[in-house]
Amino acid sequence: MKSLDWEVLTRAAEWLDAGFKVHLFTVVQTWGSAPRLPGALLAVRADGHLIGSVSGGCVEDDLADKARNHALPQTATVIEYGVSNDDAQRFGIPCGGRLQIFVEPLQDSAALKSLLQGMAERKFIRRSVHMSTGKVRLAEVEPEGLPRIDEGWFHSYFGPQWRLLIIGANQLGSVLASMAQVLDFDVFICDPREDMRAEWHVEGANWVYGMPDDVVLDMQADAYTAIVAVTHDPKLDDMALLEALKSNAFYVGALGSQKNQQKRRERMRMFDLTESEIATLRGPVGLAIGSRTPAEIAVSILAELIQVRALNLSLSMHQGKPMVNAAICPN
């Protein structure tokens, strides 16, 4: 499953190629309890068809209505919703929230396709739109923070899609793969056991052939990649972890009890891993929420992934670089 940004940009490019007029909306800033974060995207076609979101729904309805009535701006500009309490109530923005949205009439699909190509190549791209001319510039950059307007240019940022590599095609791996796709993860499964592969039936997940350590190396895990080992077979899990802990993955975890994790760390010390690398292993994997069933354990793992991903994004916005795997709390 592709990310929401990918879907919005791809659909907008398809609409442009089909001859439709399309406006792209990006949340610039929010105040109060706005439903979407800065950077959220919405594309609206001239006939009111839309994809993406910038609010809980009512703002999208208003923008679609404006599109059908040819009332959207014809040059790049900034619009606001929820400035007054009456507007906030009208558009369903809770607690007096306020949205500042950058709106631009798209010119053609070429720049969008170039952006999508960069994202597919796992680059971090700054997309800059000149507000007077509509000219678009793309540049590969390090993470620089939130969308912003600076000296007549609107800058927004697009990074690689989050990836999750699951080692183990058991029941937990299946549930985890299904749930993770809803959270914008591109999911990959590795399990060299033929009987497990024969019974794998999760749509949308990418099966990767090979031994776990080779798969981790070939993936070239970056700061947008998480790796979770759930086979419960040390021979397979440890193979993956030995390479994963040396990678730039933002999250590396393994299933197992506290006692088993202690033994695992002792085994890790027999190889060329540093104590700091071993310390980043999250095990027992997931947040301690009392989970027992495969579905509950998957929820706990994904809850921790969301937590770490949020911290990753926060640090990248404030420090200008993505965070690699680091423990929030030691196990």
Angle between helices 4-17 and 110-120 (to 10 degrees): 150
Q: What does the pLDDT read at residue 24?
A: 98
- The structural architecture, per CATH, of the domain 163-319 is 3-Layer(aba) Sandwich (3.40)
Q: What's the mean pLDDT when you consider all of the chain?
A: 89
Does pLDDT of 324 surpass 80?
no
Name every residue whose Cβ is closer than 8 Å to that of residue 128 and which is 6 or more positions away in sequence. Answer: 136, 137, 138, 139, 153, 154, 155
Question: Among 222, 236, 243, 228, which residue's Cα sits nearest to residue 174?
Answer: 228
Q: What does the pLDDT read at residue 328?
A: 36
pLDDT (mean) for 189-199 = 91
Question: Among 48, 89, 92, which residue's Cα sits nearest to residue 66?
Answer: 48
Q: What does the pLDDT read at residue 329?
A: 34
Per the structure block, which two tokens stand in for 207?
């099966």
Number of H helices and number of E strands within the chain?
Answer: 11, 14
pLDDT digit string, tens, across residues 130-186: 999 999 999 999 877 889 999 999 999 998 999 999 999 999 999 999 999 999 899
Q: What does the pLDDT read at residue 116?
A: 96
- What are the Cα distances from residue 194, in Å, to 28, 199, 294? 49, 9, 22
Does pLDDT of 87 surpass 90?
no
pLDDT digit string, tens, across residues 251-292: 999 998 999 999 999 999 999 899 999 999 998 999 999 999
Q: What does the pLDDT read at residue 326?
A: 43
CA distance 224 to 132: 34
> Cβ atoms within 10 A of the Cβ of 293, count?
11
Name the residue ranges covered by the structural domains of the chain.
Answer: 4-158, 163-319
pLDDT (mean) for 46-52 = 96
Q: Look up the pTM and report it.
A: 0.84
Q: Tell me 57's DSSP state.
A: S
pLDDT digit string, tens, across residues 88-140: 556 555 555 688 999 999 989 999 999 999 999 999 999 999 999 999 999 99
pLDDT (mean) for 42-54 = 96
User: Which residue in the block uniquely carries the two structure tokens 């800058």?
Assistant: 155
Per the structure block, which two tokens stand in for 273?
């891993």
Q: How confident is the model at residue 33 (pLDDT cuts 50, 70, 90)?
A: low
